[in-house]
Amino acid sequence: MRIISVVNQKGGCGKTTVAINLAAALGKLGKKILLIDMDPQAHASLGLNIPSEMISHTTYDLLIEPRLKLSDAVCELSENFHIVPSSPVLSALEQELSGKKGRENHLGAKLAKSDGIYDFVIIDSPPNVGILTFNALIASNEVIIPVEPSYFSLDGLNRLRETLELLESEIDHTVVMHILINNLEKRTNFARDFVHELERKHESILMQNMVSHSVRYKESALMGVSIFEMSDADHLHKEFLAIAEEVEGRSNILDMENIRNWMERLHGPRVVEEGILFSIDAPSAESVYLTGEFANWSRNGISMTRDSYNGLWQVTLHLEPGEYEYRFIVDGNWIRDPKNNDTVVNEFGQENSLLIV
Ligand SMILES: Nc1ncnc2c1ncn2[C@@H]1O[C@H](COP(=O)(O)OP(=O)(O)O)[C@@H](O)[C@H]1O
Ligand SMILES: [Mg+2]
């Protein structure tokens, strides 16, 4: 499952246009697509005219409610095209989550639990770098950065590169970048110079295909459809199909092993063939145990072993459907599962991790 955020902190550079039409184009190539609207302005949701009776939950609910699964929050626009719509209330999330542990991991954790359901998850993001954008970046292994031929949008690009470098150095999360030029008026000298400048500075991450300037994109957004629903726009259909094919082809620059490891690290416990896999990243620990209701909260708990392959301490349990509270004991210290945002406060005022099977 490839998870791609469309990000640029500059507003109006085409994030939503690219997110909607790329998602639609990948759908045309037969891929199973999820589009997640992470912008409180909800332009992607509006731009696809989702019937209101179809919407029971939004991105806000998905991020704030531990018990809500991704599958409960999606609207099925067609068998292969699902969307999690946004709503203005999403703007309250920054404040509600500020100061909370793991606040940037909510989206990633939900997606990691649903790994493999979609071929592509495309995330439309807001025009600033706050908790919402960090949730998108941490959930993603790739970003598409739309830039318009203007030097302001290069500024957004440079700042985003800095943010991504920070993610890499602070939490060891690599996000692969693709720059997509949008709103290009090919015939102007300025546009030609701009493209050359980008090729010179960012060649390896610049996409070959570009989105041209056309009023049809604006019209399609106003009509609440993708460009593929517009008649007399064959050249634009071709344009986005070529972009989708290029995006698909760029999988060759991804380190899939690294991506799988990242998904693993984002997870709380998850279902595997043999039961429920618990894992924790504790590279310097001497001993790690799992304890909880299923082990009568024994301080000896259930011994975990270090996987030589990915370095995580792991154990797999068979558990019947239900709710379970648990903690890890790392070198004698009782801790909550740092990868699981779902917690309940126990009688000692500490947080137990909560697992719902
Ligand atoms: N290639 C394009 N040609 C013409 N208009 C475009 C193009 N890309 C975006 N627009 C228009 O520019 C405005 C901003 O685009 P949008 O995708 O909403 O940007 P963002 O999501 O980054 O704020 C919208 O009105 C959109 O229809
Ligand atoms: Mg937008």
pLDDT tens by residue, 96-128: 988 877 788 899 989 988 878 999 999 999 998
Residues 80 and 27: beta-carbon distance below 8 Å = yes
Q: Is 217 in the pocket of ligand 1 (CB under 6 A)?
A: yes
Please state, in angstroms and as integers, the Cα–Cα distance from residue 140 to each residue in 52, 167, 342, following that order: 28, 12, 21
Q: How confident is the model at residue 217 (pLDDT cuts 50, 70, 90)?
A: very high
Ligand 1 centre from 207 Cα, in Å? 18
- The CA 175 to ligand 2 mean position distance, Å, reads 21
Which domains are present in the chain?
2-258 (3.40.50.300), 268-356 (2.60.40.10)
Looking at the CA of 210, name the nearest ligand: 1
Q: Is 47 in the pocket of ligand 1 (CB under 6 A)?
A: no
CB of residue 332 inside a 6 A radius of ligand 1: no
Which residue in this structure is represented by tokens 């106003």? Answer: 222
Looking at the predicted structure, is the pLDDT value of residue 288 above 90? yes
Residue nearest to atom 20 of ligand 1 (CA): 12
End-to-end C-alpha distance for the chain, whole angstroms: 23
294 Cα to the center of ligand 2, angstroms: 46
- Please tell me the distance between residue 336's alpha carbon and the centre of ligand 1 in angstroms: 44
**Structure tokens belonging to residue 5:** 């955020």
Sorting pLDDT into bands at 50, 70 and 90, what band is 15? very high
Question: Which pLDDT value is given to residue 113?
Answer: 81
Which of 5, 9, 13, 17 has most ligand 1 atoms within 8 Å of its beta carbon, as the pocket-test mutant?
Answer: 17
Whether the CB of 220 sits within 6 Å of ligand 1: no
Neighbours of 165 (CB within 10 A): 11
Whether residue 262 is predicted with pLDDT greater than 90 in this model: the reply is no
Which residues does 352 contact at the CB level (< 8 Å), separation at least 6?
Answer: 292, 325, 326, 327, 336, 343, 344, 345, 346
The pLDDT assigned to 72 comes to 93
pLDDT of residue 14: 95
Ligand 1 in reach of 221 Cβ (< 6 A): yes
- Which residue's alpha carbon is nearest to atom 23 within ligand 1? 12
Tens digit of each residue's pLDDT (9 = 90 or more) over 181-194? 999 998 899 999 99
pLDDT at 335 over 90: yes
Which has the closest alpha carbon to 62: 119, 115, 106?
A: 106
Q: For ligand 1, say whether the CB of 249 is within 6 Å of any of its atoms.
A: no
CB of 12 sitting under 6 A from ligand 1: yes
Mean pLDDT of the chain: 91
pLDDT for the residue numbered 154: 82
Residue type, 250: R
Q: What is the pTM of this model?
A: 0.86
Q: What pLDDT is stored for residue 60 in this prediction?
A: 97
Q: What are the start-end ranges of the E strands in the chain?
A: 2-6, 33-37, 75-78, 81-84, 120-124, 142-147, 176-181, 270-272, 275-280, 288-292, 302-303, 305-306, 313-317, 323-330, 333-335, 343-345, 351-356
- Which residue has the least CA distance to atom 8 on ligand 1? 14
Identify which of 217, 220, 222 to mutate to test ligand 1's pocket (most ligand atoms within 8 A of the CB): 217
Give residue 138's pLDDT: 95
**Residue 317: how many other CB atoms lie within 10 Å:** 19
Ligand 2 centre to CA of 220 (Å) is 14
Cα–Cα nearest to 9, from 121, 174, 134, 191: 134
- For residue 342, is pLDDT > 90? no
Per-residue pLDDT at 331 exceeds 80: yes
Question: Cβ atoms within 10 A of the Cβ of 314, count?
Answer: 18
The CA 200 to ligand 1 mean position distance, Å, reads 25
